[in-house]
Structure 1
Amino acid sequence: MTKPFKFKQFEIYQDRCAMKIGTDGVLLGAWTSLMNRPQSILDIGTGTGLLALMLAQRSRAETIDALEIDENAYEQCVGNFEASPWGDRLFCYHAGLDEFTEEIEETYDLIISNPPFHSEEVSSGNVARDLARQNQSLPFEELIDGVSLLLNPNGTFSTIIPFKEERPFLALASHKGLYPERITRVKGTPTSEIKRSLLQFSFTEGNVDMNELIIEKERHQYTDDYIALTQDFYLKM
C-alpha cells in the first residue's frame, strides 16, 4: 500500500494520479483569497483533489465540486474526499470541462484551477503524466471559456500559470470580461528568475494588487512569507 501525502488536517493518496502534489498546487490553494466568502466552489482538473480539500479546510463553503476527466485520478480523488473531515461538502464529477459546462446550470462563487501548461510536446515515457502536463488536455482558451460561463457575476477565478504565459493569459481573460484583481509573481530564490504567476480574476475591472513571493532564502531555508502562507497545511512548517 502506497503511503499518503500527509497534511495537518487531511491526507492524500496519489499513486493513481499522473500529476503528484507539488508546490504550485499548495501555493494556489493557500494564496487564493476567500474575501467574498464563497458558498460554492469549483476545482477544475482536480487530480488528487488537493485544491478542493485545501479550500474545504479554509472556508465554510457548503458546496465544493471538483472536475476530473482521467478515470484513475477521478476514483482516487473520490477516495481522498471520502476520507477527509469534509466529505459531506465535497463532490467530484468524472467529466471534461466542455460537457460539464453544457450540463450544469448553476454558477459558482469561486472557481480554482491548477491547469496543465506544457504547450510543447513532452515525453516522459508516462502517457498519463504527459497528458496531464500538456495543455492540449485543457487549453487555456477552453479553461477561460468555461470559467466565464460557470462563474457567478460577483465571483472570482484563481489559477497559477508559468510567468512566460502571463501576458497572453491576461489577454485571453480580458476577451471574456475577466480582469485581474491580484497578481503574485513567484521566484524560487531571491536571485532566480520569476517562474510562476498566481492570478485571481473577477468580472470587475479595477486596480490590481501586485506583489512578489520568494519561496526559499537558500536551499531548504524557506522565507517568512512562504511559511506564513503554507503553515496551516504542511506538517513541518
Structure 2
Amino acid sequence: MGHNSYFEFKQFTVKQDNAAMKVGTDGVLLGAWTDVENAKQILDIGTGTGVVALMLAQRSQANIVAIDCESSACTDARLNVLNSPWSQRIAIQEICLQEFAATATQQFDCIVCNPPFFSNAVRPNDVKRSMARHNHSLPFDELLKSAALLLTPNGHFTVILPANAENSFRMLASNYRLFPSRITRIKPKPSASISRVLLEFRNEATLDFETELTIETEKHHEYQPETIALMRDFYLSL
C-alpha cells in the first residue's frame, strides 16, 4: 500500500502527514474483520492515523475511544475524525495504554489493536516509526493485561499479528483468561505462506470460527473474491 500523504476510502479520507505508521493492509483488515454487531463501546489501542476507529465507526453505531501515546499520530487522527461523518462518536486521546488502563472508569465490549511488531528486528532509525513498529514500547504481556482489565465480561478483544507470533500470544492471553473465539490466517497470495493472523479473544471462549483468507491472486492487486467481500465498503477500487 502506498505511503501517500493521504489515503482515500469510500466514506472518509485518512491524512497521514505526521503519523509514523501509515495506512496499511493490516489495519484495514482489522477494521473490516472485527465483529461490531452488538458493540456499544469500542476501544482502539494505538490508533495511529485513526483508520481502524473510522472503519469501525462506519460499520457500527458504537462510541469509540481511540488512544495513542504518539502526539504526531494523534494530530493526524484528530483531523481525520473531525473531517469524517462520525466525529461525534470518536474521541482521540493522547495517552499510553498502561496509563489509560490504570485510570479508566469504563469498560469496553469491543477492544481492537494493530500492535507494534518486530520485537526481535533491528530497530529503525526513525524513533516515531520505531515506537509504532516495535513492541518494546507496548509488550504483548502489557497489551493483554490491559485488555483483560478493560473488557466487559461478554466483550471481545481483536488483534492482527505476524503469523509467527500467534502461538506465544495465545499462550500469554490464556494467563488472562482470554481464549480465541475466531481466527483467520492470512496469505498475501495463493503461493505464499501465511503471514498474518486475525484473532478474536473472549473470556472462557471456545473456538468456533477458524479460516484462511488469501488476499490477492498471483497477479499483483487482483483481489480474491473473499477479500473483495471484506473490503468493498472501504476501497474505492472495489
Aligned residue pairs, count: 234
Percent identity over paired residues: 47
What is the CA–CA distance in structure 2 between the aligned matches of 1:120 and 1:44, rounded to whole Å?
22
Q: Is the 2:180–2:202 Cα contact (8 Å) retained in structure 1?
A: yes
CA distance in 1, matches of 2:222, 2:152: 40
- 1:155 match: secondary structure: strand
Q: 1:23 corresponds to which residue?
A: 25
Q: CA–CA distance in 1 between the matches of 2:212 and 2:228?
A: 14
Corresponding position of 2:170: 170
Q: Output aligned runs, 1:1-237, within 5 Å.
A: 3-35=5-37, 37-61=38-62, 63-218=63-218, 219-237=220-238
Q: Deviations over 1:122-163 (max 9, x none)?
A: 244322112210000111101000000000111011110011
Please give the alpha-carbon distance, in whole angstroms, between the structure 1 residues aligned to 2:87 and 2:191.
42
| Partners of 2:151 and 2:184 in 1: CA distance | 22
Distance 2:196 2:144 in 1: 18
Q: Residues of 1 paired with 2:163 and 2:121: CA distance?
A: 19
Q: TM-score under structure 1 normalisation?
A: 0.96
Q: Output the CA distance in 2 between the equivalents of 1:177 and 1:125.
A: 37
Deviations 1:195-236 (A, max 9, x none): 000000111322331000001112221100001100100000
Query: 2:172 and 2:143 mapped to 1: Cα distance?
Result: 10
TM superposition shift of 1:120 = 1.7
Unpaired runs of 5+ in structure 1? none
Give the TM-score of the pair, scaled to structure 2. Answer: 0.95
The 2-side partners of 1:32 and 1:21 are apart by 17
In 2, Cα distance between equivalents of 1:71 and 1:6 = 23
Runs of 4+ in 1 over 3 A off after TM superposition: none
Per-residue Cα deviation, 1:156-177 (whole angstroms, up to 9, x for no partner): 1111001100001001111101
Distance 2:221 2:105 in 1: 46
- Give the unaligned 5+ runs of structure 2: none
SS in 1 for 2:54: helix
What is the Cα-based RMSD across aligned positions, in Å?
Answer: 1.1
Over 3 Å counting, the alpha-carbon distance change for 1:11 and 1:111 in structure 2 is same
Contact 2:111–2:156, Cα closer than 8 Å, also in 1: yes
